[in-house]
Amino acid sequence: MFTLWKWIKQNKIGAIIVSVFTFATMVLILSLAQQNQLTTRPDQVPLRSGPGIGYQEITKLKAGTKLTVVEKNNGWWKVKRENNQKVGWVASWVANNTKIKKPTLLSESTIVLDPGHGGSDTGAISTDGKHYEKTYTLRTALATEKVLTDAGARVIMVRKTDVVVPLLYIPRKAEKYNADAQISFHFDSSESNNTASGVSQYYYNDNSLDLVKALNGSLNNLPLQNRGYETMPYLVIKDVTRPAVLLENGFINSDQDFAYIRQSSYQQKIAQDIKKGLNTYLNTLYPNN
């Protein structure tokens, strides 16, 4: 009488192949199942009615809440709780975050940082001709990235190395990720060396006015004079539907300003002030969230 054991003995190679295939299939099924599962890490993760901080908060989820992912949209996941047919949206980078204890509006936000210039596009130059704007925009943006990431925010860098980035690419980045704010970093330059000093902020579209006001207020703490904010049709902040500002964080061809610009402590100060300004902006924009 033919038996499975007899077949296995007679077809060892076939049996091995079948076993390997079965095992691989089970692993794949398990892996796919796990990809659709999520357990919240921080406490009080907001569950929203849509994929963004502008949507109404339905409730707050306790740490360790098990969720089933039913849809994904640009980092926001539509989820369903166990034994509950109601669905809502969570920011995946918040729900999975092991560093923050309690989410904030900032931690739910997506921020695009644009270190101006790069590569062959050096930007402005210091009075001694040895230091380029592109170097310090990148250092300041990277310092800001760390501060915002530590706060739980999703930060998208336009560049992280010394490369040229086409200007039209920058606002497209903010559009792609539906950014809550786009911030471009620059250092100013006057026609003649050592004839101007201070920091300035620029915006163009009306939806960026509250953002530039909030950053203007927070950047008053810098050691350089705050020259204020105004509207300007710079390409990177003009052709974008997301809130966008451009920051001039000092005159690189001013020896007085450059003495600060080159210091990591000054770059850190800018980063912390931007975080403060973003918190003010988001809490003003969404007072009930």
Q: 133 and 86 share a domain?
A: no
Which band of pLDDT confidence, cut at 50, 70 and 90, is reported for residue 83?
confident
CB 241 within 8 A of CB 175: yes
Asked if residue 52 and residue 170 are part of one domain, the reply reads no
| Residue 133 and residue 206 share a domain | yes
Residue 114 lies in a domain: yes
Between 158 and 85, where is the model more confident?
Answer: 158
In this structure, the answer to whether residues 115 and 249 fall within a common structural domain is: yes
The pLDDT > 90 percentage for the chain reads: 83
Look at residue 13 and tell me if it is in a domain.
Answer: no
Distance between CA atoms of residues 26 and 21, nearest Å = 9
What residue has token string 């997506």?
110
Residues 184 and 61 in one domain: no
- For the chain, give the number of residues: 289
- Residues 16-35 as b/e (b if ≥16 CB within 10 A, e otherwise) read eeeeeeeeeeeeeeeeeeee
Residue pLDDT, tens place only, 168-180: 999 999 999 999 9
What is the tally of structural domains in the chain?
2
Residue 263: CB atoms within 10 A of its CB come to 12
Q: How confident is the model at residue 20 (pLDDT cuts 50, 70, 90)?
A: very low
Q: Let me know whether 222 and 180 are in one domain.
A: yes
Model pLDDT for residues 202-214, shown as the tens digit of each residue: 999 999 999 999 9
Q: Rounded to the nearest 5 degrees, what angle is found at the Cα of 88, between the Cα atoms of 147 and 33?
A: 90
Q: Where are the beta strands (DSSP E) in the chain?
A: 37-39, 45-48, 57-61, 66-73, 76-81, 87-91, 110-115, 154-157, 181-188, 199-203, 226-231, 244-251
For residues 57 and 200, state if they share a domain.
Answer: no
Q: How far does Cα 145 stand from its chain's mean position?
A: 8
Residues 85 and 130 in one domain: no
pLDDT at 243: 98
Last residue of a domain, which of 95, 125, 144?
95
Task: Write down the pLDDT at residue 84.
Answer: 74
Span 38-49, mean pLDDT? 95
Range of the domain at 47: 37-95
Residue 133 lies in a domain: yes
How many CA within 13 A on the CB side of residue 48?
21
Q: What is the mean pLDDT of residues 35-51?
A: 92
**Is residue 193, in this structure, part of any structural domain at all?**
yes
Q: Could you tell me the pTM of the whole model? A: 0.87
pLDDT at 15 over 50: no
**211 and 252 assigned to the same domain:** yes
- Average pLDDT score over the chain: 90
Q: Is residue 181 assigned to a domain?
A: yes
User: For position 152, which CATH number holds?
Assistant: 3.40.630.40
Is residue 101 situated within a structural domain? no
Q: Please indicate, yes or no, whether residues 118 and 67 belong to a single structural domain of this protein.
A: no
Residues 159 and 203 in one domain: yes
Residue 28 domain-assigned (yes or no): no
24: Cα within 13 Å, side-chain hemisphere:
6
- Judged against a pLDDT cut of 70, whether residue 19 lies above it is answered with no
User: Is 189 in the same domain as 140?
Assistant: yes
Q: Which CATH number fits the domain that encloses residue 58?
A: 2.30.30.40
